[in-house]
Amino acid sequence: MSLRRLNPPLNLLRAFSTVVRFGGVSRAAEALHLTQGAVSKQVQELERWIGVPLFERSRKRLALTPAGERYEKSVRAVLAQLEGATLELITSGDGGGALHLSTLPTFGAKWLIPRLPDFQRHHPQITLHFVPYTHGYDFERPELDCAILFGDGHWPGARSHYLAGQDVALIAPRAGLAEVAIRTPQDVARCTLLRHVTVPQSWLQWSEAHGVRGLDPLAGPQFDQFQTMIRAVMVGMGVALVPRCLVQDEIASGLVDEPLPGGGYRGNEGYWFCYPEGRGQLATLDHFRRWLLAEVDRNAPTPETPALS
């Protein structure tokens, strides 16, 4: 078998991968700025080039063959690696350049932004550009280098590093605003429970960790950001479970109360630094990752609450 046959042209591989990613020739053609006919011809040419059918065609619908599924995974990884190597080359030299990142609003405002002056002092040659956080989960977006996400650390096509957030604090309004005096975990069952849409199981986990009965984990107002929940607790709307890394300043200053020693719990989700597999060699990303993980090590709190079994 000739070496030439083992090295299909890059444009054919990109057309094939794009068709798979967008689920059809029409949307792939728009993404590649080509006609549908041109994309179809490139895919067919790739199949002739390697001599293996990649799609099953019926009634103008495309479905990957088993061989096509295996090949697409490898092609996607190769294209991502090539893109990452090119980006690394462009931004290499003095290690400067731009880094495009996304972060969830509350974590960005409460944890990341206060620490960024230190990063700028150590890496003045790197400019940070923030991408809208709604794009942070789409690692196919060319303008996204990395993201800080909330979850269990598993996202398709991404590498992840844990930062913070699994240590969850129980917070209540300060004296004078609280609807119930909380002296034991069972007292919480009589309070208004504030809930976050991203972690609907949090009150159930908390009640199981502390053996609380009669608590309705699905009752109470619902919020979409932790910062809003913290403000709601501050004005006396109820009690909440919030990652300690987001609320430790309010606890320390007395804006909210932490009524029970060890009254939080250890959750399964938290904030993770994530980036596409193909961009791990990007110089700017590597500098930011090293700095970020060093910050985590320097600020790692001593666990105060037991882990859930």
- The answer to whether residue 307 scores a pLDDT higher than 90 is no
Ordered alpha helix ranges (H), 23-108: 25-32, 36-50, 66-91, 105-107
* Domain presence at residue 130: yes
| 175 and 254 part of one domain | yes
Predicted pLDDT of residue 279 = 78
pLDDT: which is higher, 177 or 207: 207
| 172 and 28 part of one domain | no
Quick: pLDDT tens for 187-244: 999 999 999 999 999 999 999 999 999 899 888 999 999 999 999 999 999 999 999 9
Mean pLDDT, the chain, integer: 87
Query: How confident is residue 309, by pLDDT bands cut at 50, 70 and 90?
Result: very low
Count of the separate structural domains present in the chain: 3
| 190 and 123 part of one domain | no
* Domain presence at residue 309: no
Query: How confident is residue 42, by pLDDT bands cut at 50, 70 and 90?
Result: very high
| 237 and 178 part of one domain | yes
CATH number, domain with residue 152: 3.40.190.10
pTM: 0.68
Last residue within a domain, chosen from 40, 62, 89: 89
C-alpha of 26 from chain center: 29
Determine the Cα–Cα distance for residues 84 and 145; give it in Å rounded to an integer: 10
* Domain presence at residue 156: yes
Residue that is written with structure tokens 């549908």 in the block: 36
| 174 and 262 part of one domain | yes
* Domain presence at residue 43: yes
Please say whether the dihedral angle defined by the alpha carbons of residues 143, 148, 149 and 151, taken in this order, is positive or negative: positive
CATH number, domain with residue 37: 1.10.10.10
| 160 and 203 part of one domain | no
> What's the mean pLDDT in 123-127?
91
* Domain presence at residue 200: yes
Quick: pLDDT tens for 237-265: 999 999 999 999 999 999 999 999 899 99
Query: How confident is residue 107, by pLDDT bands cut at 50, 70 and 90?
Result: very high
* Domain presence at residue 145: yes
Query: How confident is residue 278, by pLDDT bands cut at 50, 70 and 90?
Result: confident
| 145 and 21 part of one domain | no
| 232 and 286 part of one domain | no
Determine the Cα–Cα distance for residues 78 and 8; give it in Å rounded to an integer: 12
| 119 and 161 part of one domain | yes
- Three-class SS state of 190: helix
Last residue within a domain, chosen from 89, 120, 148: 89
| 184 and 99 part of one domain | no
Q: In which domain, by residue range, is 273 found?
A: 92-165+269-299
Other residues' Cβ atoms within 10 Å of the Cβ of residue 118: 13
* Domain presence at residue 308: no
Four-point Cα dihedral 9, 13, 14, 20, nearest 10: 160
| 142 and 290 part of one domain | yes
- The answer to whether residue 119 scores a pLDDT higher than 80 is yes
Last residue within a domain, chosen from 40, 64, 89: 89
DSSP class per residue in 178-199: -SS--SSGGGGGGSPBPEETT-
| 179 and 191 part of one domain | yes
* Domain presence at residue 306: no
The answer to whether the beta carbons of residues 170 and 188 sit under 8 Å apart is: yes
Predicted pLDDT of residue 308 = 39
Estimate the crossing angle of helix 283-299 against helix 66-91, to 10 degrees: 90
Question: What's at 270, amino acid-wise?
Answer: G
